[in-house]
Amino acid sequence: MGMRVLLRLGLFSAMLSCFAEAGAATMSVFSKAFPDLYIRDAAAALELYVGRWNGVQTLLFDGKVLGEGSFTQTCVARGDGPQMRVVSTGLITYGSESATSRSVMFIDKDGTLRTDVISEDGSVESYYGKIENNSIYWLPKNMFVTYDYQKDSFFVTEKGVDMYCDGLRYIDVPQKRGYLGTATVLTKMDGSFSRDDSAPGGGMMGSPIR
């Protein structure tokens, strides 16, 4: 979920125009030829996100491929134990257009994995994660208000760790109403580990977020 970007309405409109002729583009395919990771609990999930990630994101609207952009994300751990927070900052670029993301991931009071996504105007959207084997399913706190879903799956590859993110969100902007989909493939750039490990940790440790 740290990989989600909340697109500004103007930026989304620009992307639609930029990729209006990109219907023939081919969606990226993620190979599952390597073993997946078993995520044992919420604490292990937090540690797994920590690091620097680079990759590509394919943008779709109502199932039609619009284009592909580059994606970079840095996730830094602050604090430890129950107070650990993973602060994420990201940048996605589609042609001449770009958008940033900022979020804080932590374990909520009830033990549930949670991410607070912070928009440019300072508003916060909260998502809760459900762990299943090597994947984390993210759903918004107010699912009955808006449809918004993302699945992050982790795999061990020859290069280290890959994350495949599959997202779908209902949007309603001027002259556009439908489902915005994203398919993102990211590689962790700062370290590799044995395929037998479950959920590796790492990253820089600092003061807890207040």
Q: pLDDT, tens digit, for every residue of 38-79?
A: 899 999 999 999 999 999 999 999 989 999 999 999 999 999
Tell me which CATH homologous superfamily contains domain 9-188: Calycin beta-barrel core domain (2.40.128.20)
Per-residue pLDDT, 17: 47
Q: What angle do CA 77, 81, 84 make, to 5 degrees?
A: 30
Buried b (16+ CB within 10 A) or exposed e, 156-195: beeeebbbbbebbbebeeeeeeeebbbbbbbebbeeebee
pLDDT of res. 143: 64
Q: Point out which residues pair with 32 in neighbouring strands.
A: none
Domain ranges of the chain: 9-188
Looking at residue 92, its amino acid is I
Q: What are phi and psi of 13, to 5 degrees?
A: -60, -40
The pair of three-digit structure tokens given for residue 33, joined into one six-digit string: 């030829």
Section 180-187 average pLDDT: 94
Three-class SS state of 195:
coil
What pLDDT, on the 0 to 100 scale, is given for residue 172?
A: 86
Q: How much is the pLDDT for 120?
A: 83
Amino acid at 188: K
Residue type, 141: K
Question: Which residue has better confidence, 91 or 3?
Answer: 91
**The pLDDT of residue 12 is above 80:** no
In this prediction, residue 183 has a pLDDT band, given cuts at 50, 70 and 90, of very high
Greatest alpha-carbon pair distance for the chain in Å reads: 50
Is 194 strand, coil or helix?
coil
Q: Which residues pair with 115 in a beta bridge?
A: 105, 127
Mean pLDDT calculated for residue range 70-91:
93
* Mean pLDDT for the stretch of residues 163-178: 89
Residues 15-29: tens digit of each pLDDT: 444 444 433 343 334
DSSP helix/strand/coil, 6: coil
CB 112 within 8 A of CB 106: no
Amino acid 57 reads Q
Q: What is the mean pLDDT of residues 101-110?
A: 95
Question: What average pLDDT does the segment 128-148 reach?
Answer: 86
How far is residue 87's CA from residue 104's CA, in Å, rounded to a whole number? 5
